[in-house]
Amino acid sequence: QVQLVESGGGLVQPGGSLRLSCAASGSSFSIFRMAWFRQVPGKQRELVAAITSGGNPNYADSVKGRFTISRDNAKNTVYLQMNNLKPDDTAVYYCNKDPVPLPNWGQGTQVTVSS
Protein backbone atom coordinates (compact mmCIF):
# COMPACT_ATOMS: atom_id res chain seq x y z
CA GLN A 1 0.00 0.00 0.00
CA VAL A 2 1.36 3.42 -0.97
CA GLN A 3 1.97 5.94 1.80
CA LEU A 4 2.02 9.66 1.03
CA VAL A 5 3.89 12.30 3.01
CA GLU A 6 3.62 15.98 2.09
CA SER A 7 6.11 18.61 3.19
CA GLY A 8 7.41 22.06 2.37
CA GLY A 9 4.54 24.27 3.43
CA GLY A 10 4.86 27.34 5.55
CA LEU A 11 3.99 30.98 6.02
CA VAL A 12 4.81 33.30 3.15
CA GLN A 13 3.88 36.81 2.08
CA PRO A 14 1.85 37.47 -1.06
CA GLY A 15 4.11 37.24 -4.07
CA GLY A 16 6.41 34.78 -2.38
CA SER A 17 7.29 31.23 -3.33
CA LEU A 18 7.27 27.76 -1.82
CA ARG A 19 8.13 24.31 -3.08
CA LEU A 20 6.08 21.41 -1.82
CA SER A 21 7.22 17.80 -1.89
CA CYS A 22 5.23 14.60 -1.79
CA ALA A 23 7.15 11.48 -0.93
CA ALA A 24 5.48 8.19 -1.75
CA SER A 25 6.42 4.83 -0.33
CA GLY A 26 5.35 1.49 -1.66
CA SER A 27 5.26 0.05 -5.11
CA SER A 28 3.99 1.27 -8.48
CA PHE A 29 4.50 5.00 -7.91
CA SER A 30 6.02 5.47 -11.33
CA ILE A 31 2.87 4.35 -13.14
CA PHE A 32 0.48 6.66 -11.27
CA ARG A 33 -0.93 9.90 -12.53
CA MET A 34 -0.33 12.10 -9.50
CA ALA A 35 -1.96 15.32 -8.41
CA TRP A 36 -1.83 18.06 -5.83
CA PHE A 37 -5.05 19.00 -4.07
CA ARG A 38 -5.82 21.70 -1.57
CA GLN A 39 -8.52 22.20 1.01
CA VAL A 40 -9.56 24.96 3.38
CA PRO A 41 -11.90 24.57 6.35
CA GLY A 42 -15.53 24.52 5.31
CA LYS A 43 -14.78 24.03 1.62
CA GLN A 44 -14.43 21.03 -0.66
CA ARG A 45 -11.09 19.70 -1.75
CA GLU A 46 -9.84 21.25 -4.98
CA LEU A 47 -7.47 19.78 -7.54
CA VAL A 48 -4.76 22.28 -8.42
CA ALA A 49 -2.32 20.34 -10.60
CA ALA A 50 -1.78 16.86 -11.99
CA ILE A 51 1.03 15.10 -13.78
CA THR A 52 1.07 11.87 -15.75
CA SER A 53 3.59 9.13 -15.25
CA GLY A 54 5.40 10.51 -18.28
CA GLY A 55 5.53 14.05 -16.91
CA ASN A 56 2.70 15.77 -18.78
CA PRO A 57 1.12 18.42 -16.53
CA ASN A 58 -2.31 19.97 -16.16
CA TYR A 59 -3.31 22.89 -13.95
CA ALA A 60 -6.37 24.50 -12.51
CA ASP A 61 -7.07 27.87 -14.09
CA SER A 62 -6.48 29.58 -10.76
CA VAL A 63 -2.82 28.53 -10.65
CA LYS A 64 -1.80 28.51 -14.32
CA GLY A 65 1.35 30.48 -14.89
CA ARG A 66 2.22 30.45 -11.21
CA PHE A 67 2.54 26.79 -10.17
CA THR A 68 4.64 24.04 -11.71
CA ILE A 69 4.16 20.36 -10.95
CA SER A 70 6.99 17.91 -11.53
CA ARG A 71 8.04 14.45 -10.48
CA ASP A 72 11.14 12.40 -9.91
CA ASN A 73 10.18 8.78 -10.32
CA ALA A 74 13.59 7.58 -9.16
CA LYS A 75 12.90 9.28 -5.82
CA ASN A 76 9.18 8.45 -5.69
CA THR A 77 8.52 12.15 -5.23
CA VAL A 78 6.16 14.74 -6.71
CA TYR A 79 6.84 18.46 -6.37
CA LEU A 80 4.79 21.61 -6.61
CA GLN A 81 6.69 24.82 -7.20
CA MET A 82 4.44 27.70 -6.20
CA ASN A 83 5.37 31.21 -7.30
CA ASN A 84 3.59 34.54 -6.93
CA LEU A 85 1.51 33.17 -4.11
CA LYS A 86 -1.79 34.81 -3.27
CA PRO A 87 -3.89 34.78 -0.10
CA ASP A 88 -6.43 32.57 -1.87
CA ASP A 89 -3.73 29.90 -2.16
CA THR A 90 -3.90 29.43 1.60
CA ALA A 91 -4.91 25.83 2.26
CA VAL A 92 -3.71 22.45 3.34
CA TYR A 93 -2.08 20.82 0.34
CA TYR A 94 -2.29 17.10 -0.29
CA CYS A 95 -0.99 14.79 -2.96
CA ASN A 96 -2.62 11.66 -4.27
CA LYS A 97 -3.32 9.65 -7.37
CA ASP A 98 -5.74 11.11 -9.89
CA PRO A 99 -8.50 10.70 -11.05
CA VAL A 100 -9.15 7.95 -8.51
CA PRO A 101 -7.30 8.81 -5.29
CA LEU A 102 -5.96 6.21 -2.97
CA PRO A 103 -7.96 6.04 0.26
CA ASN A 104 -4.93 6.60 2.49
CA TRP A 105 -4.45 10.36 2.24
CA GLY A 106 -1.46 11.91 3.93
CA GLN A 107 -1.64 14.60 6.59
CA GLY A 108 -1.01 17.36 4.08
CA THR A 109 1.15 20.43 4.47
CA GLN A 110 -0.17 23.85 5.46
CA VAL A 111 0.43 26.79 3.15
CA THR A 112 -0.45 30.20 4.54
CA VAL A 113 -0.14 33.30 2.37
CA SER A 114 -0.61 36.45 4.39
CA SER A 115 0.83 39.90 4.79
Cβ neighbour number for residue 78 with a 10 Å cutoff: 27
For the chain, 115 residues long, give each residue's pLDDT as a single digit of tens. 789 999 999 999 999 999 999 999 877 888 899 999 999 999 999 999 999 999 999 999 999 999 999 999 999 999 999 999 999 999 999 999 999 999 999 999 999 999 9
Amino acid at 112: T
The per-residue pLDDT for 111 is 98
What is the DSSP track for 27-43?
S-GGGS-EEEEEE-TTS
- Report the alpha-carbon angle 6-81-8, nearest 5: 35
Beta bridge partners of 97: 34
